[in-house]
């Protein structure tokens, strides 16, 4: 189902698409590729919304900073100093998380209106062209994200991109999950298939080599309460894969809802939303951002985010919903 959701100040219309299957209802906006809501049942069969979102377009325009539910690009996470080298040229980006570039810059993919078309009976395909030089990134990038509800109600997001010049690409979805539907999510239990994480400096830029999580607060290889104080990249076991494999499980003991995350990506940024502000409160949601590592364009030792003409960027993440 497609309906008008709102209108931007320049007259551009924003539409909302609703997908329903297997007891799951997902609403997606053409503005920012935003996942506005995900409604799933709890262990008693009661349906609740498990992602943070706003009821109207003005909420997203007034409070852009949390990136609620948004499609993030051209480069998710941080690039140190807003600069990176590629083929002997240094590209300067506009710092929007001083001194770094964050989530593609001040007008990243999360603030663009995407073209949306149906994709089968249970999916929609969002697409746009990011012109050469947009937010300082080189190359004309043709990019798409296809949102599909699988037969079991899992939300699958498949990304693709091609370029006419060498560039860097790192895409993710920035939903904040609260499996209880409200309140603080710090009591959720998390399991991650990650034996290492990347230590960061004061500006949240990776510093040094990935570190073993054994004996630290970053060890989620066995499920435990998430708590607070995380905005860190975890190095997922297995690295980049062709098919999505399960890398995370989030469980809310009160509602019984379980979220599983499968991905082809090598990293997952765990953010416990400690800086959320009104109308939300710190800790109201947990972001599990599947992606390549932060600052990879400045770290040749990290998995590459470079995309060249003739190549195709592909990435897939699947969010599954059950109860336990």
pLDDT in tens, 5-19: 999 999 999 999 999
pLDDT tens per residue, range 57-73? 999 999 999 999 999 99
For residue 109, give the 3-state DSSP assignment: helix
Which percentage of the chain shows pLDDT scores above 70?
A: 100
Choose the CATH number for 2-323 among 2.70.98.10, 3.20.20.140, 3.40.50.2300, 1.10.275.10: 2.70.98.10
Summarize the confidence of residues 188-204 as an average pLDDT. 97
Determine which one of 122, 174, 232, 292 is catalytic. Answer: 174
Per-domain boundaries in the chain: 2-323
pLDDT tens digits for 129-159? Answer: 999 999 999 999 999 999 999 999 999 999 9
Q: What is the mean pLDDT of the chain?
A: 98
284 pLDDT more than 90: yes
* Residue 235: pLDDT band with limits 50, 70, 90: very high
pTM of the model as a whole: 0.97
Nearest-5° Cα angle at 158, 219 to 59: 80
Mean pLDDT of 92-106: 96
Provide the token pair at 115: 């073209």
| pLDDT for residue 1 | 85
CB 23 within 8 A of CB 33: no
Tokens of 133: 């030089």
**Greater model confidence, 254 or 94:** 254
For the chain, what is the total number of helices (H) and then of strands (E)?
A: 1, 28
**Residue 289 among the catalytic residues:** yes
Bin 268: left if φ > 0, else alpha if -120 < ψ < 50, else beta.
beta
- Whether residue 37 is predicted with pLDDT greater than 90 in this model: the reply is yes
Q: Which of 135, 265, 289, 316 is catalytic?
A: 289
Told to judge if 174 belongs to the known catalytic residues of this protein, a careful annotator would answer: yes
Q: What is the DSSP string of 150-199?
A: -TTS-EEEEEEEEESS-EE-B-EE--EE-TTSSS--TT-EEEE-EEEE--
Each residue of 259-283: pLDDT tens digit?
999 999 999 999 999 999 999 999 9
At residue 238, does pLDDT exceed 90? Answer: yes
């Amino acid at each position: 189902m497609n309906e008008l959701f709102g209108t931007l100040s320049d007259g551009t219309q924003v539409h909302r698409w609703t997908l329903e299957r297997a007891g799951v209802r997902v609403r997606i906006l053409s503005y920012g590729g935003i996942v506005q809501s995900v409604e799933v049942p709890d262990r008693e069969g009661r349906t609740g919304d498990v992602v943070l979102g706003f009821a109207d377009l003005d909420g997203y325009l007034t409070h852009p900073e949390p990136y609620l539910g948004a499609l993030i690009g051209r480069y998710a996470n941080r690039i140190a100093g807003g600069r990176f080298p590629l083929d002997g040229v240094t590209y300067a980006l506009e710092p929007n998380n001083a001194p770094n570039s964050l989530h593609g810059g001040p007008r990243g993919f999360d603030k663009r209106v995407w073209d949306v078309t149906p994709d089968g009976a249970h999916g929609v395909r969002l697409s746009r062209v990011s012109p050469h030089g947009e937010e300082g990134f080189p190359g004309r990038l043709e990019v798409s994200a296809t949102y599909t509800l699988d037969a079991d109600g899992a939300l699958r997001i498949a990304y693709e991109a091609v370029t006419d010049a060498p560039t860097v690409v790192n895409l993710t979805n920035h939903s904040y999950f609260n499996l209880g539907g409200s309140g603080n999510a710090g009591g959720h239990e998390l399991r991650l298939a990650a034996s290492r994480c990347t230590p960061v400096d004061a500006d949240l830029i990776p510093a040094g080599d990935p570190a073993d999580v054994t004996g630290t607060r970053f060890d989620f290889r066995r499920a435990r309460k998430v708590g607070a104080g995380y905005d860190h990249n975890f190095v997922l076991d297995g690295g980049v894969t062709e098919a999505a494999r399960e890398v995370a499980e989030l469980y809310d003991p009160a509602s019984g809802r379980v979220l599983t995350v499968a991905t082809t990506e090598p990293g997952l940024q765990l953010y416990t939303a400690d800086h959320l502000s009104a109308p939300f409160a710190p800790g109201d949601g947990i972001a599990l951002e599947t992606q390549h590592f932060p600052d990879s364009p400045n770290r040749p030792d990290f998995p590459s985010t470079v995309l060249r003409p003739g190549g195709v960027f592909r990435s897939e993440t699947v969010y599954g919903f059950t109860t336990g």
